[in-house]
Amino acid sequence: MDALFSVLTPIHREGHKYLVLFALVTLLLFLVWEPLGWLGVIATAWCAYFFRDPERVTPVREGLIISPADGMVQSVTEAVPPAELGMGETPRPRISIFMNVFDVHVNRVPATGEITQIAYTPGKFLNAELEKASEDNERNAIRMRTSGGKDIAFVQIAGLVARRIVSELESGQKVLAGERFGIIRFGSRLDVYLDEGMRPLVCVGQRMIAGETVIADEKSRERQRLGEVR
């Protein structure tokens, strides 16, 4: 029974209209030719799978920075935050998480605190795995002050087939770590910019779970981690 409920997860409301559309097309395909209808059933099931929105258990200690996205850590580097956020030109630690089409695409707030600025920038739809996607692709950049007084940012970046970034946040809004705040459709990326002096606690190739995986700790003085495939 537990295995059944782990599969039958809730669907994000952004996916409801797509499920209705897929179901209607599937019905029409059955009327045209039954084998096509079964292909429609498969497509509808995939749509429900893509928009799944499972519950997560978020670590709640002050100072923890939590992954805002499911996916794989693509890079851990130093980079200048998006200019539109006005965070200066000094490079900061940046963690980039790539979501493929099979990952949960519901995004979650990485820390408890207050949203201080939101800036949407239209752009291209390059492969989100490319480094230049951070600057060239359509993006929604969000800056926040954590409850511990740290200045961080997280950026939703559209990918090659992503055509819609959804964010429900507003400037001045109080948020809790792990809260749902948006979704990006069909393959994309999340960049997290830490405050100066903070060190990432993840390494390239690790799998992230949105709302659960700790990616940094304001109180940690640990050196940046390295990883090995074993």
Q: For residues 85 and 152, is the Cβ–Cβ distance under 8 A?
A: no
The letter for the amino acid at 165 is I
Count of CB atoms situated within 10 Å of the CB of 28: 12
**Which two tokens mark 147?**
């409850």
Angstrom distance (rounded) from CA 26 to CA 40: 4
Q: Which of 96, 147, 188, 220 is catalytic?
A: 188
Q: For residues 129 and 74, is the Cβ–Cβ distance under 8 A?
A: yes
Q: For residues 76 and 98, is the Cβ–Cβ distance under 8 A?
A: no
Q: CB-based contacts of 3: which residues, under 8 Å, 6+ apart?
A: none
Angstrom distance (rounded) from CA 162 to CA 139: 11
Stated length of the chain: 230
Angstrom distance (rounded) from CA 11 to CA 32: 29
188 an active-site residue?
A: yes
Annotated catalytic residues are 188
